[in-house]
Structure 1
Amino acid sequence: MSPIKPLPAALKRWAERRIGPVVSVCDASHDWDRSRVWDLEGERQVHHYLKVSPSVKFFTRESRAYRHVIPALGHRAPHLIDSRAQDLALLLTAVPGAPVKELGLDATQWRTVHQQAGALCARLHEAGPLDRNDRGEAEASLAAAADGAEKYLARAGDRLNQDEQQLIRDHAARLRRVGPVPVGYVHGDNQPRNWLWSRHGLALIDFERCRPAGRIQDFVILATTQWADHPDREKAFLQSYGRELTDAERHALRCLSALDAVNCLAWGPDNGDAEVTTRGLRTLDRLMREDQP
């Protein structure tokens, strides 16, 4: 468990100039050192969130997304009240609900959640036409993912044996040959920890990785976790998403899953994240078994 992070006084004063007096502050950060999020309770028990991005890149992505992409989700996502670039700070409205992964849902409830997630992802992916620069970035996103393979392999080191390293390189090469896939704005960290469930339905949060990319990139974590053991959830998701995946997307998803595995094994052990490490190990084991002649 990370130590509680105090909200800087200057940021509290900045927030109060926009939302009024803050009665109480609660650290709502994820359990890793670079996550900094606070729940601000105001008068009449109205809540807002103040987030300090971990980098300029994430701040730029998220603040832009809140202005130009996320409004397509309506009340199913937070709204941006203000941003403060010098502190990489975002002041957001709160949406109701608790993280889906904490709720102990039964099989039927999980299908309902995935059904709503599919509909929300469709709205996000189709949030608006891509301008020239965004389209170029989106169309280059699979090649960019393949370019990261060697970096992740170097960071993972001897956590992968030679056969496993070759599998990663093979999938990176295949990813370059996939061809065109549908593009749009993706969430970038699309998984149940960023889905909030309440009686009002599902909401999405945490858009620091929102960017123009191949839409299939939003399904990698789901495919390697939720859908790997529960194909009924995948079916429910895609039904409300509005279409089946193309052959090129299915091929890309497999290749991206391999790259996700080595990324998990590079990042997870170094950051003490057992869940991410396990995801990488499971995916790598599955791909190795499936690649056997």
Structure 2
Amino acid sequence: MSGTRALPDTLRGWAERETGPVKSIRDASHPRENSRVWELVRADGCRYYLKISPNARMYQRETFALRHAAPALGAGRAPQLRASSAEHLSLLTTAVPGRPVKSLALSAAEEYEAHRQAGLLLARLHAAGDLTGHWRTEAQGALRAAAHGAERHLREAGDRLTPAERTLVGRLAAELCMIGPLPLGFIHGDAWPRNLIWSGHSAWLDFERSRFAPVAQEFVQLACEVWADRPQLRAACFSGYGRELTSEESHALMCLAGLDAVSALVWGESHNDPLVAARGRRTLDRLMAGVFA
């Protein structure tokens, strides 16, 4: 939990070889067991973040993103990687000015602009990286892989779902496998207001779920978490993005939302996170009512 973990001395020494002596260290972890992040501040006020990735795959994804894709967002629009340690699954990055949009009380105009710039940055990110070889193969198979995970999610959901809801999610998974080729790109993978930073300019943090995939997958959390009540923020995001989703992308997004809903419902209840569970339940209710957009 935030505020309870001390930075190991070995990692402090590793970080200070890059940053120089630090004056203060603050636990900046999210309130979950596998989040381990510290803010390091030098005497001159320069700030860095040291993060221990939850696992090797997330470490590899975030390291790759910060080296090869995130720089395309522009100066101050994503952290810069200063050092990484595969031995400790640790990354040392610069700090990005601002605070998460989720924690700010923005005016309607500021919030619209933050989401417009968020879309602009996602467009840059999606065009970054070298989408060749096994990266392209993995991206092309991402929808089918997601669909194949539906059976496990449905099994874990148990009696949390009605028979009609099970039938709906199963149908959406089957339809996902039949969707034709979609635009591919390098996605952030966890794009929602907790990871969107605002300082008068937008920036994205936390690239541990980034990967090459159909770009429609980028918008699942926004569609399920934000856009249901705030259609103006959807308009803002796609205004910055430079285009609307195609009809096939929109259908894929709806199918993916169904899978995400079951996953969120199971995860939220099993991890005592009522907000995540509520997101899943609400998305299922919208899909059942035919009002998901």
User: Do Structure 1 and Structure 2 share a fold, with TM-score over 0.5?
Assistant: yes
Q: Distance in 2 between matches of 1:156 and 1:35?
A: 25
Q: Distance in 1 between matches of 2:160 and 2:214?
A: 29
State the partner residue of 2:88.
Answer: 87
Flag structure 1 segments of 5+ consecutive residues without an equivalent: none
State the partner residue of 1:109.
Answer: 110
Amino acid at match of 2:246: T
Post-superposition shift, 1:118?
A: 0.7
CA deviations on 1:64-115 (whole Å, 9 max, x unpaired) are 1111111111220001011010110000000100010111223222211111
State the partner residue of 2:137.
Answer: 136
Amino acid at match of 1:177: M
State the partner residue of 1:261.
Answer: 261
Q: TM-score scaled to structure 2, two decimals? A: 0.96
Amino acid at match of 1:205: L
In structure 1, the residue corresponding to 2:182 is in which secondary structure? coil
Q: Distance in 2 between matches of 1:5 and 1:172?
A: 41
Post-superposition shift, 1:3?
A: 6.1
Post-superposition shift, 1:239?
A: 1.4
Post-superposition shift, 1:271?
A: 1.5
CA contact (8 A) 1:79 1:93 kept: yes
Indicate yes or no: 2:175 matched with 1:178: no
Amino acid at match of 2:78: A
CA deviations on 1:234-276 (whole Å, 9 max, x unpaired) are 1111111111111110100100000110110111111122221
Q: TM-score scaled to structure 1, two decimals? A: 0.96
Residues 66-85 of structure 1 aligned to structure 2 (within 5 Å): 66-75=66-75, 76-85=77-86
Indicate yes or no: 2:53 matched with 1:39: no
Amino acid at match of 1:289: A
Q: Distance in 2 between matches of 1:236 and 1:62?
A: 27
Q: Distance in 1 between matches of 2:198 and 2:50?
A: 21
Q: Distance in 2 between matches of 1:39 and 1:265?
A: 32
Post-superposition shift, 1:155?
A: 2.3
CA contact (8 A) 1:153 1:266 kept: no
State the partner residue of 1:4.
Answer: 4
Amino acid at match of 1:249: E
CA deviations on 1:152-195 (whole Å, 9 max, x unpaired) are 12222221122212211111001111111100100000000001
CA contact (8 A) 2:28 2:38 kept: yes
CA deviations on 1:107-152 (whole Å, 9 max, x unpaired) are 2222111110110000000013402111111111111111111121
19-28 vs 106-115, which moves further? 106-115
Indicate yes or no: 2:14 matched with 1:14: yes
State the partner residue of 2:49.
Answer: 49
- Percent sequence identity over matched residues? 51
State the partner residue of 2:284.
Answer: 284
CA contact (8 A) 1:73 1:123 kept: yes
CA contact (8 A) 2:39 2:48 kept: yes
In structure 1, the residue corresponding to 2:288 is in which secondary structure? helix
Alignment size in residue pairs: 290
Flag structure 2 segments of 5+ consecutive residues without an equivalent: none
CA contact (8 A) 1:61 1:210 kept: yes
CA contact (8 A) 1:29 1:37 kept: yes
148-157 vs 217-226, which moves further? 148-157
In structure 2, the residue corresponding to 1:206 is in which secondary structure? coil
Amino acid at match of 1:275: L
